[in-house]
Structure 1
Amino acid sequence: LFQQRNFTIGITFKKVEVLLAAGFGLLFLGEGVSLPALGAISLGVLGVLIISDAPQVAGSEGPRFFNKATALGLSCAVLFGACAVFYRGATLHISAADVFARSSVTLMAAISMQFLGMAFYLRWREPGQITEVIRAWRVAIWVGLLSLLGSLAWFTAFTLQNAAYVKALGQVEILASFAISVCVFGEKMRRSEAVGIAFLSVSVVLLILLL
């Protein structure tokens, strides 16, 4: 998806993963969400869609929505939404009283599979990349450590609460990103982005109150 000219459009469709997580949770784990919570989640998704609906990238070819990036974005949404639910299901099947232990074991299993899969893919399709990563370990190690801590926080949250709620509250990362871009980098905010942020902020506050 990163390589597509219509990258922004693909990311927009990827954002519906929160709603899909709610559906998958009900389908596979029998965990539904309340109507008020669903309304709050939908409001947040609407806010994200408004934020993501940036002007089309210069040089983009083909139709705005019916293109390869759209298909990739929707595929990401389905897979990420399903993963959140399956991760939660996995933690619930581990017979350990400690929440942190359950989330850590599930994360270790997931990372191990990802490591083996990616190592095989890189060796097959992009030989030499693994060596380059090892050479850049001084930079890569910080990316890996921070990513590991972030994943551990996600998995612990999945262990404690419905995956749809976790995904919805996780949208605060967008608010943090905009705060950093404005306060640190001095970037200007478009009117549509301000409206989307307002919707997303209300959604997060409502979810916190409802939970």
Structure 2
Amino acid sequence: MWVFITLFAAACQSVRTAYQNTLARESGFLHATMSRSLYGLPLVSVYVLVCGLWLGWVTLPAGSMFWAAATLCALAQIMATYLMLRVFQSGSFALGTLLAKTEAVLAALIGIPILHNSLSVLAWLGVVIGVLGALVMSVKWKNIKLVHKDTSLVFGLGSGLCFAITSVSASMASHALNGSIITCAGVTLWYVLLLQSIILCGIQITKRRDIFAPFRSNFSLSLKVGALSSLGSIGWFTGFALVNPALVKTLGQLEVIGTLYYSKRRFEEQISKQQWVGGAMIMISVILVVTAK
């Protein structure tokens, strides 16, 4: 089940990221980051309502870590999205998305002490090959000596770390609730989007001194970003709750297929042989992880 859910999430995120890149260029980083939470919240609200009526509601046990974990998830995801959009400005669409893919191995490392998750040797091999594949696709080898000074690399790796924290903390928050794991994941996502909307809308309204500022810029494109983001997030958060987040994120590397397509077709970027080799490595990593699971 988690495999199909993750593939659905990856497909939605691939298209959403392309739209979000366009939105960032036209309306700025803040609005592009805000749109995925504010415009996605209504759809997620309906989803949680359906889950509650169909699978049962959740309860919050005493001493639960839910609030801390879910709040950390919301803040980390804001930073992750912002940093990835910054990479788009300093590098390319493909570079930004692919560097953020280091989150898979980072999620595995963070999840060991926090979630007490363990991976088999085959799964670890898949995770590592996937991350190496992402790096092969993004690093310019002729500038390898100066790669530590590349702002695209710094922003991309920072985005990957924040996305890893997001996935691990989302899993923690979902498991802190009592009830159907599907509903728990939905409630966690709803709280995360609500908090993000409050924070980002507040910043945008304050900067522009206009209470309707979040709705005045590229409404139709923002709506597309929000809808695709909410669908993808439903898949991601459910996957995080079902299995080790590192496995979900490694399988989610298949998003690279969509990344290459939109990079070439939508933004007219050239795809090199090196990037295709890295993409093949990611495909191998996915096969290893699914087989190991």
> Is the TM-score greater than 0.5?
yes
* Alignment length (residue pairs): 205
Counterpart position of 1:105: 187
- 1:190-201 to 2 correspondence within 5 Å? 190-201=272-283
Assess, with a 3 A threshold, how the Cα gap between structure 1 residues 129 and 170 changes in structure 2: closer, same or farther. farther
Query: d(CA) in 2 for partners of 1:110 and 1:194?
Result: 35
Assess, with a 3 A threshold, how the Cα gap between structure 1 residues 23 and 115 changes in structure 2: closer, same or farther. same
**Which of 87, 91, 102 matches 1:7?**
91
Assess, with a 3 A threshold, how the Cα gap between structure 1 residues 3 and 176 changes in structure 2: closer, same or farther. closer
**1:33 corresponds to 2:115:** no
Local SS of the residue matching 1:16: helix
Identity of aligned residues (%): 27
Q: Does the CA-based 8 Å contact 1:10-1:74 persist in structure 2?
A: no
Query: d(CA) in 2 for partners of 1:129 and 1:39?
Result: 50
Local SS of the residue matching 2:160: helix
Q: Does the CA-based 8 Å contact 2:204-2:213 persist in structure 1?
A: no
Render the CA deviation track for 1:58-117: whole Å, top value 9, x for unaligned.
xxxxx5422544443333222211111010011111101x23211110000100111011
RMSD over aligned CA atoms reads: 3.0
Q: Does the CA-based 8 Å contact 2:99-2:138 persist in structure 1?
A: no
Local SS of the residue matching 2:155: helix
**Which of 254, 259, 262 matches 1:177?**
259
Query: d(CA) in 2 for partners of 1:76 and 1:125?
Result: 24
Assess, with a 3 A threshold, how the Cα gap between structure 1 residues 15 and 102 changes in structure 2: closer, same or farther. same
User: What TM-score, normalized to structure 1?
Assistant: 0.82
Shift of 1:204: 0.7
Assess, with a 3 A threshold, how the Cα gap between structure 1 residues 3 and 169 changes in structure 2: closer, same or farther. closer
Local SS of the residue matching 1:33: coil
Structure 2 residue runs without a partner (length 5+):
1-82
Counterpart position of 1:60: none
Structure 1 residue runs without a partner (length 5+):
57-62
**1:79 corresponds to 2:79:** no
Counterpart position of 1:151: 233
Q: Does the CA-based 8 Å contact 2:86-2:155 persist in structure 1?
A: no
Q: Does the CA-based 8 Å contact 1:85-1:163 persist in structure 2?
A: yes
Assess, with a 3 A threshold, how the Cα gap between structure 1 residues 64 and 183 changes in structure 2: closer, same or farther. closer
User: What TM-score, normalized to structure 2?
Assistant: 0.61
Render the CA deviation track for 1:21-69: whole Å, top value 9, x for unaligned.
001101211112122111111001111111122589xxxxxx5422544
Counterpart position of 2:245: 163
Letter in 1 for 2:278: G
**Which of 176, 179, 182 matches 1:93?**
176
